[in-house]
Amino acid sequence: MNASCRRALVFLPILVFGAFLAGAGYAQEIWFAPPAAPLNSRLHRAVDLLDLFRGDAPWQEASSHIRVFKLYASYLSGAPQEEVDAIVSDLNRRHIPIALEVGVMNIGTKPTYPPCGGFGLVEGYGIPQVARTNSEKIKRAGGVIEFIAMDEPLWFGHYFKGKPGGQPGCQSSVEQILELIKAPLAVYREEFPNIAVGDTEPTDIAEQLHWKEDVSSWVVGFRNQTGHALAFMHLDIPFSRPGEGGFAVEYYRYVDGLKRQNLIGAIGVIYDGMPTDSSDESWIQDAQEHIRFIEDRSGLHPDQALIQSWQAFPQHVLPESSPGSLTSLVNYYARRTK
């Protein structure tokens, strides 16, 4: 598919786009989110991250398969403008749209009531000022944020209790979460009027009481509040947990039912390795096994496959010919679906 066709698909109305994917069976998109963090951050950053954005970078086949490149807000906020400029320039040249994974629940770092959650204290939170800064950074580089992937607002806003010794979770109602996301999302929509907003959630949700009612209330509430269905629901599966595969399949099938009701545009699965992996090669091998578990043994065929890592491995994204690089996993997945 040539570049103009790829971009035409991206701008289809989201419900039509979801219906197209549903009718196409194996016609999946590949999203790519390499390990990215500011230098000297405690978060993982691929050692050759910026090499991706050279004109002669050895991922020509993989880049031709990638439909969306996802950046982490934790990286974007701390990255120098010159790095962002290089990334956006190369993605524009390759005609690959940009998504941003970001917290959007509007509680700042010093909440007075309730004393919980908060930007920089609990994942999933974000404030309008940061939304403006993120947007301006991409715009200064000549780019457009075409997708927002909300960072697990239902999980971190509603279910998360907090970690021992850390900031407690707010355990807000679904209605309260819908209120919290309004202001940050309004900034992104003001800056990028055609932006599509979707959600990322862990399949741990399927272990919670009343989870089906909560998920349904969340997606219906989002549509009623914004006038748009969620563009997508991306599933973060903790593959390392015994028995989690069963919960993941159950969660997927329930979300698929919501998609058939036009409450969600597309379903995606994050394919990653294990946090215990000790090499690039072992991480890639585990990620391949997770792909086979979801698609071959469980018979699930997501609309969007996310090749993504925030773990310690793989440390390399290049070259695509290396069996331990993240771009090699893109090619592995693409070749399966031909």
Q: Which residue has the tokens 């773990």?
A: 311
Q: What is residue 241's predicted lDDT score, i.e. its pLDDT?
A: 80
Domain CATH code at residue 82: 3.20.20.60
- Domain of 135 in residue numbering reads as 3-336
Number of independent structural domains in the chain: 1
pLDDT band, residue 284 (cuts 50/70/90): very high
List phi, psi (to 5°) of 163: -110, 155
List phi, psi (to 5°) of 142: 85, 20
Q: Which of 57, 34, 93, 1 is nearest to 329 (CA)?
A: 34
Is residue 22 predicted with pLDDT exceeding 70?
no
pLDDT band, residue 1 (cuts 50/70/90): very low
Cβ proximity of 321 and 314 under 8 Å: no
Q: What is residue 302's predicted lDDT score, i.e. its pLDDT?
A: 97
Q: Which of 337, 255, 328 is nearest to 296 (CA)?
A: 337
* Other C-beta atoms lying within 10 Å of the C-beta of residue 146: 19
Q: What is residue 113's predicted lDDT score, i.e. its pLDDT?
A: 62
Q: What is residue 27's predicted lDDT score, i.e. its pLDDT?
A: 46
**pTM flag (> 0.85):** yes
Distance between CA atoms of residues 82 and 169, nearest Å: 36
Q: How far is CA 248 from the centre of its chain?
A: 17
- DSSP type of residue 235: E
**Interval 213-223: pLDDT, tens:** 999 999 999 99
Is residue 102 predicted with pLDDT exceeding 70?
yes
DSSP 42-106: SS---TTGGGGGSTT-S-HHHHHHEEEEEEEHHHHHHS-HHHHHHHHHHHHHHT--EEEEE--B-
